[in-house]
Amino acid sequence: MTNAQRDKRVEIAQVRVLFQVPFFAAAVARLPIVWDESVGTACTNGKVIRWCPSWFDTLEDQHLVTLLCHEACHPLLGHLWRLPPPGGDHELANISCDHAVNLMLKEFSALRMAGGFADPFPFPPGNYCCDEQYKGMSEEAIYARIASQQSGGSNGSTPSIKTRLGSTGAQKGGSGGPSGGTSSKFGEFEAPKDLDQSTSKVLQNDWDGTLIQACKLAKGQGNLPGGMERFVNELVSPKVAWNEVLRSLLRETCSDDWDFMTPAVEYDQSGFILPSLRSERMQSVVFGSDWSGSTFGDLVDQFHVEKQQCLDELRPSKLIDIGFDTRIVSEREYLPGDLVDKKIGGGGGTCFKELFRRISEMQPAPKVVVVLTDLCGTFPDDPGIPTIWVVYGGASEAPFGQVIKAD
């Protein structure tokens, strides 16, 4: 079979995805195919799918649909960025993610077939990773359990690294696994190797957006895969403590860096011109405290704690706390070592316009604005200032900035 013929089969399979399982169509369309004989089966890096042409030729038409959607799930579910953990085993990560993906595809197939439709995701014969004992578990939890089983010499039914569905791309052939089946490989994933941290983050955000939009569309039609719904809920409402996420973002925004435009004067006599360490600590970081009627109570105490911990742990050069409802009701400045004043005012409605109007007047402009709120109010146009919304209850989206859900 020529590559042109293979391309035609892929096009037909992509059309099948669109009509049979439209939830996956946008993700599949984002992954063009590259024919690569060095890949044992197929592999994605979030930008393309590298597919072994000789292995491709052995697959039936509907198997191509399964493979395309299986591979699309790896960037959709963030596998390229979540696993393996630092210092972890990449092949074991592929095993764990294959279990999670294949179980989800099987679950989706069962829903479709219960409605009288044909199985959209048939798998070729073989001992692939789809063990029911991992149903409902996260990929990280599956990884930890398999690692524990392997280190303890488990004789269970978990396929070994060489007998999973989705083994190392360059590896061909294989032998029977612990369950006695024959090797059967499918699609794996790998992290993009040619992207810097910033570009990789953009790619990750693009895939997050693709997943959220696909889930919204599919949920409205009543055909959202259960595993996807669970994951998108984690994506928009992470279970990581919100104050830890906030402090991490503040550290990233306000880190020190080397300044090559300003030489370090302490090395003047050395004969070398060396950069100085320029501190970008939070010269004028602003906390906007929503003191409207809907945020009174225990939430007020959490706001005070977060500002105090920011002062004590991150030690900004200055922290400005602006209390507001529909107007500015207080403005206080703190230095490291100060105690946050727990007096509050306000109690009316919520309008963010006055807050950002006041912030836009500040010189120099703040490095970052942190708004502690329930996000129920009137928004201004994007002020172009890095903004973090720490949201307790209320909505989960803002017209600009980054939202951290606190509940």
Residues 115 and 83 grouped into a single domain: yes
Amino acid identity of residue 235, one-letter, is: L
Residue 132's SS3 state is helix
Residues 225 and 307 grouped into a single domain: no
pLDDT (mean) for 374-394:
84
Q: Nearest CA to 70 among 93, 40, 43?
A: 43
Residue where a domain stops, chosen among 221, 236, 251:
236
pLDDT value at 184 more than 70: no
Give the model's pLDDT for residue 241: 54
pLDDT tens digit string along 223-267?
555 556 555 555 444 444 555 556 666 665 655 444 445 555 544
- What's the Cα-to-Cα distance from 330 to each of 138, 321, 342, 376, rounded to whole Å? 45, 8, 12, 20
Residues 271 and 197 grouped into a single domain: no
Residue 327: CATH number of its domain:
3.40.50
Residues 248 and 123 grouped into a single domain: no
Q: Between β-strands 42-44 and 187-189, what pairing exists: parallel, antiparallel or unpaired?
A: parallel
pLDDT (mean) for 257-281:
50
Beta-bridge partners for 353: none
Residues 250 and 148 grouped into a single domain: no
Taking a C-beta distance cutoff of 8 angstroms, is the pair 164, 98 a contact? yes
pLDDT tens digit string along 189-223?
887 777 777 777 788 888 878 887 777 666 555 55
Residues 178 and 261 grouped into a single domain: no
**In the structure, what pLDDT confidence band is assigned to residue 53 with cuts at 50, 70 and 90?**
very high
Residues 299 and 221 grouped into a single domain: no
pLDDT tens digit string along 95-141?
999 998 999 888 888 878 888 889 999 988 777 888 888 887 888 88
Provide the number of structural domains found in the chain.
2
User: Which pairs from 247-252 meet CB under 8 Å and 24+ separation?
Assistant: 247/309, 247/310, 247/313, 247/314, 249/368, 249/388, 249/402, 249/404, 250/282, 250/285, 250/310, 250/314, 250/368, 250/370, 250/388, 251/314
pLDDT (mean) for 368-379:
87
Residues 135 and 217 grouped into a single domain: yes
Give the C-alpha separation, 131 to 383, whole Å.
50
Structural domain including 153 reads 3-236
Cβ-Cβ contacts under 8 Å for 354 (sequence gap 6 or more): 324, 326, 327, 328
Residues 122 and 225 grouped into a single domain: yes
pLDDT tens digit string along 152-174?
644 444 444 333 333 323 233 33
Q: Nearest CA to 224 among 212, 238, 236, 234?
A: 212
Residues 216 and 307 grouped into a single domain: no
Q: Between β-strands 257-263 and 275-278, what pairing exists: parallel, antiparallel or unpaired?
A: antiparallel
Q: Give the percent of the chain with pLDDT over 70.
A: 71
Residue where a domain stops, chosen among 236, 263, 293:
236
Residues 173 and 272 grouped into a single domain: no
Which alpha helices (H) appear in 49-116, and where do they start and end? 53-56, 61-76, 79-82, 90-114
Residues 216 and 255 grouped into a single domain: no
Give the model's pLDDT for residue 251: 62
Q: H or E stretch including 289?
A: strand 285-290
Q: Nearest CA to 189 among 80, 92, 70?
A: 80
Q: How much is the mean pLDDT over the chain? A: 76
Q: What are phi and psi of 329, to 5 degrees?
A: -110, -15
pLDDT (mean) for 298-320:
78
Residue where a domain stops, chosen among 184, 207, 236:
236
